Copies of this chain bind each other. A is one copy, B any other.
């Protein structure tokens, strides 16, 4: 689950929590960037629903992870850790949108990893046909993620 780390938009944060919980209930491990905002909200949702939560941190200190992370990966790579979040994922769910989130969406699509987008970016350009699956609710996001996991690879 990717999304802005510093938002205080209550709709976005509630959606991230519901997405995290839904993915955990579907027996998926939830991987985030380990910090605040959407990352913390999704982590909290997943943990409270009994899931395993991995946080791939920009800094070198495991202690900077939010309190719902089970396995912290302190990378020391700064923004470079976004690529690792994406590489760990079998499907990416983007909730809300910052430039960092758009970078993760694009990195995922480049790697052929399916992306679900909720309250986030839409893009138009040379490869846009192949872009994120845009959904309208947290439940739809979880359903889309699960169905993309079982679909043949793109």
B80 touches A76 (CB 8 A): yes
Q: Which residue of B lies closest to A54 (CB)?
A: B71
Per the 8 Å Cβ criterion, residues 112-154 of A in contact with B are 120-128, 130
Q: Residues of A at under 8 Å CB distance from B? A: 4, 29, 52, 54, 56, 60, 62, 71-80, 83-84, 87-88, 96-100, 102-103, 105-107, 109-111, 120-128, 130
B75 touches A84 (CB 8 A): yes
Q: Which residue of B lies closest to A130 (CB)?
A: B99
B97 touches A125 (CB 8 A): yes
A106 touches B102 (CB 8 A): yes
Highest count of chain B CB atoms <10 Å: which of A87, A122, A127: A87
